Homo-oligomer: A and B are copies of this chain.
């Protein structure tokens, strides 16, 4: 690791991305086309996401469950838009136990159909509602080109599913999930996102309304960070999922679904990287602190000194590692910079005499001295500072990449050059959206939740428009 050349981010984002993911040991390509392997360093990121998000959903009363991987094809077909949206991406099992199957099985591309076919059986009284469930699962959607984390045939995600007796409650639930995603990106990933409503064209297949968190990547392209859907009664009607309300009448529940996938890790990597490699925010970093002894190995005094520091930090739940390998400090520095460890501590003879350590921040290269005496407070303070700095930098970059445009020439020029989010009036006519996409490749990302109603002219056709939308190239 660390010996290969890293394509500079500033020169080639995609080249840098592939290099850094492979070289830092985050992930690799699997043997079957389109698949990827999450190596321990990469999977640790996902474990942290699971830990944080599980806390949030359990506090809300959402319970984890697990539904089958295989969905009979006929179940998928029950919601017409849904099967139309997903059928081109399916992996199908046609042979099982040595025999050709009578009905082919889809490897789940999402679980609405299988979950709601079970709920229909279990929940029949208003007393059973709301139903709040989540599962952590692997998902398969066929991909021709693999892009580690960002686009793979198999990926991991959580999918939340809920059912309510009122539309209002369902809407609130889907907005709650959206806000949790925004917070997770901001607080854990130090990645600011914008939240809003998708256009009809960009909606989830079968949904009434789709909300999403959209992130801006350093190459000016937008990444859909997570989505939350108001399903209305589309699925409950398709599945004939009814319950008896308080008056004894039969009613269809209102449903939501919402998901965050390992694709998010691609956004994390892209947002913070630099020419030296990864930069992980301390909150999610698998290793937060690396201690590098900078004098010859085998010196028991040094070993004792750094192990004591490690023990103190471990007790305070700091994720710390000592690098005592038999190679030069320079090689180690490069490697830990490549791997994005937020804080490096160096210990040499001077530090031992003075009872200090030298610290270097991965974020901006700043360095300083900590006293060993109160090392854990200082380390924790520094980590918290780095976390804030990273969010601040990312936020600045988001702002710099967001531009209001008021005519189509400007729009086209921007989309060719600096890209980013272009905020433009749109009349909400599908035709204008299609034409813009065909001519510039840009799609409507979202209309911000808190977007002000104004009077403007559609950037494409000039017709009266009420809102600016955020357009961008999709990652």
Where the two chains meet, the residues of A that have a C-beta atom closer than 8 Å to any C-beta of B are 28, 30-32, 35-40, 43-44, 46-47, 63-72, 75, 87-98, 104-105, 107, 114, 117-118, 121-122, 127, 133, 137-138, 140, 142-144, 153-154, 156, 325
| Contact between B67 and A121, CB atoms less than 8 A apart | no
| Contact between A95 and B94, CB atoms less than 8 A apart | yes
Instruction: Kindly report which residue of chain B lies nearest to residue A138, judged by CB atoms.
Output: B69
| Contact between B94 and A66, CB atoms less than 8 A apart | no
| Contact between B32 and A72, CB atoms less than 8 A apart | yes
7 nearest A-B residue pairs (beta carbon): A97-B142, A40-B63, A35-B68, A30-B68, A38-B66, A92-B95, A32-B70
Known: A43-B64, A107-B107. A95 touches B88 (CB 8 A): no
A383 CB → nearest B CB, Å:
21
A31: chain B residues within 8 A (beta carbon): 68, 71-72, 75, 114, 117-118
| Contact between A40 and B133, CB atoms less than 8 A apart | yes
A95–B88 Cα distance when bound, in Å, is: 11
A69 CB → nearest B CB, Å:
5
Taken together, the copies of this chain in the complex come to: 2
A91: chain B residues within 8 A (beta carbon): 70, 93, 95-97, 105
Known: A32-B105, A66-B37. A97 touches B90 (CB 8 A): yes
A174 CB → nearest B CB, Å:
20
- What are 29 inter-chain pairs, A to B, with CB distance below 8 A? A30-B70, A30-B114, A31-B72, A31-B75, A31-B118, A37-B65, A37-B66, A37-B67, A38-B66, A39-B65, A39-B122, A40-B65, A43-B66, A44-B64, A66-B156, A69-B138, A70-B154, A87-B98, A89-B97, A91-B95, A91-B96, A91-B97, A92-B94, A92-B95, A92-B96, A93-B93, A93-B94, A94-B95, A97-B142
Known: A32-B71, A32-B105. A96 touches B64 (CB 8 A): no
A133: chain B residues within 8 A (beta carbon): 40
| Contact between B154 and A68, CB atoms less than 8 A apart | yes
A138: chain B residues within 8 A (beta carbon): 69, 137-138
A227 CB → nearest B CB, Å:
22
B65, B92, B140: the one contacting A69 at CB < 8 Å is: B140
| Contact between A118 and B37, CB atoms less than 8 A apart | yes
A153: chain B residues within 8 A (beta carbon): 70, 96
A42 CB → nearest B CB, Å:
8
A46: chain B residues within 8 A (beta carbon): 66
A92: chain B residues within 8 A (beta carbon): 93-96
A65–B26 Cα distance when bound, in Å, is: 10
A156: chain B residues within 8 A (beta carbon): 66
Instruction: Kindly report which residue of chain B lies nearest to residue A107, judged by CB atoms.
Output: B93
A207–B247 Cα distance when bound, in Å, is: 63
B40, B47, B66, B96: the one contacting A142 at CB < 8 Å is: B96
| Contact between A98 and B94, CB atoms less than 8 A apart | no
Instruction: Kindly report which residue of chain B lies nearest to residue A28, judged by CB atoms.
Output: B118
A65: chain B residues within 8 A (beta carbon): 37-40, 43
Instruction: Kindly report which residue of chain B lies nearest to residue A66, judged by CB atoms.
Output: B38
A448–B154 Cα distance when bound, in Å, is: 42
Known: A40-B133, A118-B37, A138-B138. A30 touches B93 (CB 8 A): no
A144 CB → nearest B CB, Å:
7
A143: chain B residues within 8 A (beta carbon): 97
A98–B92 Cα distance when bound, in Å, is: 9
A151 CB → nearest B CB, Å:
13
A140: chain B residues within 8 A (beta carbon): 69-70
Which of A107, A121, A156 has the most chain B CB atoms closer than 10 A to its own CB? Answer: A107
A89: chain B residues within 8 A (beta carbon): 97
| Contact between B94 and A36, CB atoms less than 8 A apart | no
| Contact between A36 and B95, CB atoms less than 8 A apart | no
Which of A30, A64, A96, A118 has the most chain B CB atoms closer than 10 A to its own CB? Answer: A96
A118–B27 Cα distance when bound, in Å, is: 11
A430–B87 Cα distance when bound, in Å, is: 50
Known: A28-B118, A88-B97, A96-B92. A69 touches B39 (CB 8 A): no
